[in-house]
Structure 1
């Protein structure tokens, strides 16, 4: 009991420090602290920190494109959050779909999944179902690596699947992988929206979701950390989705803009003809002047 009380008390004090304004020097101190803290204490700190952040902050200040979600997600929808991290999009989606809707959220990193489970429980997101797995184009085990800060400490939010290479600078572990098609195989409810943030693995996520996409034509939000004009996998993704009837758009806080060559955004929305018609009728698509 004494040890448990000390852990809770220490984590509360650490949360107050962790959430204070961070200068470059303070941020560096936090990174160094993360390198030496016991993992159990670090996770306890992050559980409380992210719960507080999700409860009190405007989520668009953390994930800007959550502002776009009310235009494409409605009450009663069934939506999927691939790479949920600690629940930024999950919380927004849970609120938008309401008690009759459903959110499936996947997160492969065990430590991050602990935090996601905690925030989901504390925020009472009862319409959310969590899956501790990676999403890919095949089933089985995949190798993932977690980068480290220069002075130590792991950056769990940058964890990614690696194929054929392992870095001595990163923590490496195996994770269970599912395809989205296998996950939704027994589902009779229409999937209406999929968000995918898989740290350079998005192409493989989509390849493993082609049946789901063809069947239900959900709106898609896909992170791209490299330009589709230059990144090989990103270019393949932008070339693949139009074959399924989708076009890429980016969001600037008001209308959605059709992506043109040379334009770069971290996130792209992919809409089918039906989505585009609905958005045009509600004046949510910017006029194309090409």
Structure 2
């Protein structure tokens, strides 16, 4: 916990290319939605950048991570941070949480009775139900559940038109969000967003509504995910 707080205060960057985007877009008084907050680095960075007149809503289903964020929030005196220990999805219910190979992936609960009783379950909610009246910036990194989570935010996207920094992992998305990578990009396009790829130096390459160009950037990367920036157009 102390390390996390020191990283923010000493301006040490986690995922420096994404950190650069936060520093470019976030201003005092803004409202931020951090979906898949992990242990809270970007939550704490956002809270620092928007200041006490702003607000940060951190959404994290993993109980251990949520406890870390809450402890960091209190130790920093960040009263403008709210922590929700839930998963984000299309509709309310429960999901199975798996932390074996990552900080947490969520999936549908098994149809098998034994699988249900042996699962670690977490509540899932539609974030439109709890999103602030104004949302200026969304960060989403939910290990392939981005499609499902963003479909639960359609009203907020339409109402607020926030800038979105999103992890993009098409191979995971098809199994967890039940949509393809191109489906996710077209969903954002449909809501008036152009897509850029966040480069490793923090710059962005704008691809507008060219879904295939973003997919090609992902294929060329040779890794399991890239980071994209969605900005409202028009």
**Bucket of the pairwise TM-score, normalised by the shorter protein:** 0.7 to 0.9
Match 1:93 to one of 40, 46, 65? 46
> Deviations along 1:145-171, whole A, 9 cap, x unmatched?
1115xxxxxx4x1x11112559x9xx9
Structure 1: distance between partners of 2:181 and 2:77 = 36
State whether residues 146 and 172 of structure 1, in contact with CA within 8 Å, keep that contact through their aligned partners in structure 2: no
> Deviations along 1:200-235, whole A, 9 cap, x unmatched?
10000011000110111111111112369x995322
State whether residues 52 and 78 of structure 2, in contact with CA within 8 Å, keep that contact through their aligned partners in structure 1: no
2:25 corresponds to which residue?
72
For the residue of structure 2 that corresponds to 1:69, the secondary structure is helix
Match 1:123 to one of 49, 53, 76? 76
2:107 corresponds to which residue?
162
Q: What residue ranges of structure 2 are gaps of 5+ in the alignment? A: 208-212, 219-224
Deviation for aligned residue 1:113: 0.9
Structure 1: distance between partners of 2:49 and 2:7 = 19
| Structure with greater contact order relative to length (CA < 8 Å, sep ≥ 6) | 2
Of structures 1 and 2, the larger Rg is shown by: 1
1:225 corresponds to which residue?
169
> Do the aligned partners of residues 49 and 69 (structure 1) sit closer, same or farther apart at CA in structure 2, a change above 3 Å counting?
closer
> Deviations along 1:179-214, whole A, 9 cap, x unmatched?
111112xx43x2111111111100000110001101
TM-score by length of 1: 0.66
Coordinate RMSD, CA, aligned: 2.5
Match 1:270 to one of 205, 230, 233? 230
2:221 corresponds to which residue?
none
For the residue of structure 2 that corresponds to 1:191, the secondary structure is coil
> Do the aligned partners of residues 110 and 56 (structure 1) sit closer, same or farther apart at CA in structure 2, a change above 3 Å counting?
same
1:241 corresponds to which residue?
188
Structure 2: distance between partners of 1:233 and 1:203 = 8
Within-5 A mapping of 1:24-103: 47-56=1-10, 58-59=12-13, 61-103=14-56
Structure 1: distance between partners of 2:106 and 2:61 = 10
Asked if 1:256 corresponds to 2:216, the answer is no
Q: What residue ranges of structure 1 are gaps of 5+ in the alignment? A: 1-46, 149-154, 275-290
Within-5 A mapping of 1:72-221: 72-148=25-101, 155=102, 157=103, 159-163=104-108, 165=110, 172-184=119-131, 187-188=132-133, 190-221=134-165
> Deviations along 1:226-255, whole A, 9 cap, x unmatched?
369x99532210111111111111223354
State whether residues 194 and 221 of structure 1, in contact with CA within 8 Å, keep that contact through their aligned partners in structure 2: yes
> Deviations along 1:10-67, whole A, 9 cap, x unmatched?
xxxxxxxxxxxxxxxxxxxxxxxxxxxxxxxxxxxxx3443444444512x4453011
TM-score by length of 2: 0.81
Structure 2: distance between partners of 1:112 and 1:254 = 26
